[in-house]
Structure 1
Amino acid sequence: MAREQEAAVERRAWKKPAGFLGPLLLLLSVPLQALAADPLPSWNDGPVKQSIIGFVTRATTEGGPGFIPPEERIATFDNDGTLWQEQPVVQGAFLLEQVKARVKEDASLAKQQPFKAVLEGDLALLSTMEEPELMALAGATHQGKTQEEFAREARAFFQSARHPKLGVPYTQLVYAPMLELLQYLRAHGFQTWISSGGGMDFMRVVSEDLYGVPPQQVIGSSLKEKFDDAGGHPVLRREARLDHVNDKAGKPVGIEQHIGRRPVFAAGNVRSGGDIQMLQYTQEQPRAGFTLLIHHDDAEREFAYEEKNDASLKAAREGGWTVVSMRQDWKRIFPGGR
């Protein structure tokens, strides 16, 4: 009976038009008057929460020294480890399924790289890959597929895949405090953008439903594409060549290419130093921007991990960035509790 009830809940969660809206709907179910009294209810009261509210207040107080014109209120967010969990990297789990499907179609691929290494190392290997390696694997796996075909496969993954440890859909593992922050910023005239090292097309499948960020406001790593007339039915096909790696120094480049303005608010996380340059780029401007760094230090409710060289926390100390301790600063991590 319990399993039947669980299945019924899942069917309701995935029924259109709700799509992937589970976490966002949970957030929006909070009474508006409660959000007005406390716009960040999943954040513990303290210096971090007050610094965010203080920045937004100054930025939107016309005539004040910290006022930012609405057209300049650009906020960029990393995705993996900043808006949702990254142990394992979600796109890595998706690519593993795609590799297995390709090998099922052509068994000889199991002896070829990178397929052989992925199959032998499974998710453990994929979790250690840098963004260029993941995107190269994406190219090898999806070469020749149309954007529509890729989107269908990504949607099917999100509807069926479960986190290997937590046992729930990846779409339920977005961070409740960050959903609140996105909504809080938008309510005060900020444009919210995703600027992630992950695959741009992969994130665009769910960004609007999960975060309220439309696909045209997602910046990420990408493969080259080519136009195919397809007998009068034009499509874009993916190639096995990297176009842009939106990680580390590539993030400011991607932001400039897609937005054309420096962010005045940026959020990243401690993992591989991938967000340092985006945060530095946001901070160093005539009007100092707000920089937020998520530190994964909650092994009980999520995961605890550090960078080998401590580069992000060192940069945060030097730059005076606001560092979020998930253990101390967040009342809850996921929308469903926990």
Structure 2
Amino acid sequence: MPVRYAPLDSTHVCRLARRAAAFWLVLLLVVAASFAAAQSDPLPSWNAGPAKQAVLDFVAATTTPGSPDFVPPEARLATFDQDGTTWVEQPMYTPVLFCLARLKELAKEKPELAATEPFKTILSGDRQAMEKLSDADYQQLGTLTLTGVTPEELAAAVRAWLAVARDVRWHRPYTELVYQPMLEVMRLLRAAGYKTYFVTGGPQDFVRVFSEPVYGIPPEQVVGAINAVKYGYAKDGRPMLTEEPRILGDTVGPGKPESIHIEIGRRPFAAFGNSTGDREMLEYTQAGDGKRLMMLVHHDDATREYAYGADSKVGTFSQALMAEARQRGWVVISMRNDWKRIFAWEGE
């Protein structure tokens, strides 16, 4: 027997229509409120707290006309260390990993490298033996693998390696191991008229390859360890530069403020680091007039990233640095407490 439905009267229809309209209105308001909240918070990957507030207060104070701490647009400058400050540096600095991979390729062309120290030890893959190598030994590694080619050839080698290399822990490209909270700080500063610079101990021509697509920092705003280059001519007469085995500038410790003066020519109003190698850059920044922002990333989250400090040769954060930060009023960023998420892909 067919089911018969009673016809709806106009009153019932109106009541259903009002309920439906009310439902969609509430849903629209919820979506709009969520969107507005996301738009109003330029640092969504940060937990509420002193570190996040320090960034927001600094930007507001230095860019609001009439503020006693107002900074003219042409003087707005912020410097960032890279390794350990804006991307992962454990268990080994990424530029060193590139040099190790490049050494293996060169050893295929020059087998004698496998019998020559320190390359013999490095090619053995014995981590304990490699840890005993000196800074001078690793400088030889950099000289061999980063020089003798044109900047364009080096850039091509870096791009090719980055396209296939994967981190041993997350098995992701190194350019995905970037800290989302620091990307948000960079974008906020640039939106407020600040120029953002890298001042890194890493090889300048290595970082320049990916600084713009990954961080939004153009290559001319990358200050790093730089090799001399020599002008000459290719076989076809084309002018060219060749990376020379001679370092022109050291960008670790005192070398950071020295390089800032030489290559940038302005003292930054904000500086971001994570290790003892960044101390002098933060001191130099704070020594300027007006409101300044000095921040140090503290790696204290072994679950989502790594936990290390004074006991690590990579990204050393000594007790002396922590004491100086507290004494001088620098902001120490706790990865565990201050960052809601560390990577853009976290939670996938």
TM category (shorter chain) comes to 0.7 to 0.9
Q: Is the counterpart of residue 178 in structure 1 residue 187 in structure 2?
A: no
1:1-338 residue pairs with structure 2 within 5 A? 33-87=36-90, 88-121=92-125, 134-231=138-235, 232-270=237-275, 273-308=276-311, 309-338=318-347
Match of 1:7 in 2: none
Given the superposition, is the C-alpha separation of residues 332 and 89 from structure 1 closer, same or farther in structure 2, using an over 3 Å criterion?
Answer: same
For residue 257 of structure 1, what is the amino acid of its counterpart?
I
Q: With structure 1 as the length reference, what TM-score do the two structures score?
A: 0.86
Given the superposition, is the C-alpha separation of residues 298 and 122 from structure 1 closer, same or farther in structure 2, using an over 3 Å criterion?
Answer: same
For residue 193 of structure 1, what is the amino acid of its counterpart?
Y
Deviation at residue 315 of structure 1 after TM alignment: 2.1
Q: With structure 2 as the length reference, what TM-score do the two structures score?
A: 0.83
Distance 1:269 1:36 in 2: 29
More displaced stretch, 66-75 vs 285-294: 285-294
Between the two proteins, what is the percent identity of the paired residues? 45
* Offset from partner CA, 1:242-273 (integer Å, 9 cap, x none): 11111111000111111100000000003xx1
Match of 1:22 in 2: none
* Offset from partner CA, 1:217-258 (integer Å, 9 cap, x none): 000001111111224211111112211111111000111111
Unpaired segments of 5 or more residues in structure 1?
1-30
Distance 1:93 1:240 in 2: 19
Conserved? CA contact 1:131–1:247, under 8 Å: no
More displaced stretch, 317-326 vs 226-235: 226-235
For residue 325 of structure 1, what is the amino acid of its counterpart?
S
Matched residue SS, 1:198: strand
For residue 346 of structure 2, what is the amino acid of its counterpart?
G
Deviation at residue 66 of structure 1 after TM alignment: 1.2
Distance 1:124 1:182 in 2: 38
Matched residue SS, 1:275: helix
For residue 237 of structure 1, what is the amino acid of its counterpart?
T
Unpaired segments of 5 or more residues in structure 2?
1-33, 312-317
Distance 2:124 2:84 in 1: 25
Match of 1:24 in 2: none
* Offset from partner CA, 1:81-128 (integer Å, 9 cap, x none): 011000121111101101111111111101212312322356677788
Q: Tell me which stretches of 4 or more aligned residues in structure 1 moved more than 6 Å.
A: 123-132
Tell which structure's C-alpha radius of gyration is larger.
2
Match of 1:5 in 2: none
Matched residue SS, 2:277: coil
Match of 1:3 in 2: none
Matched residue SS, 1:237: strand
More displaced stretch, 140-149 vs 159-168: 140-149
Q: How many residues are paired up?
A: 306
Conserved? CA contact 1:136–1:240, under 8 Å: no
Deviation at residue 136 of structure 1 after TM alignment: 3.9
Deviation at residue 165 of structure 1 after TM alignment: 1.6
Matched residue SS, 1:298: coil
Matched residue SS, 1:299: coil
Distance 2:64 2:136 in 1: 42
Over aligned residue pairs, what C-alpha RMSD do you find?
Answer: 2.0
Distance 2:75 2:308 in 1: 35
Given the superposition, is the C-alpha separation of residues 205 and 262 from structure 1 closer, same or farther in structure 2, using an over 3 Å criterion?
Answer: same
For residue 142 of structure 2, what is the amino acid of its counterpart?
A
Given the superposition, is the C-alpha separation of residues 81 and 124 from structure 1 closer, same or farther in structure 2, using an over 3 Å criterion?
Answer: farther
Distance 2:135 2:197 in 1: 19
Distance 1:252 1:36 in 2: 36
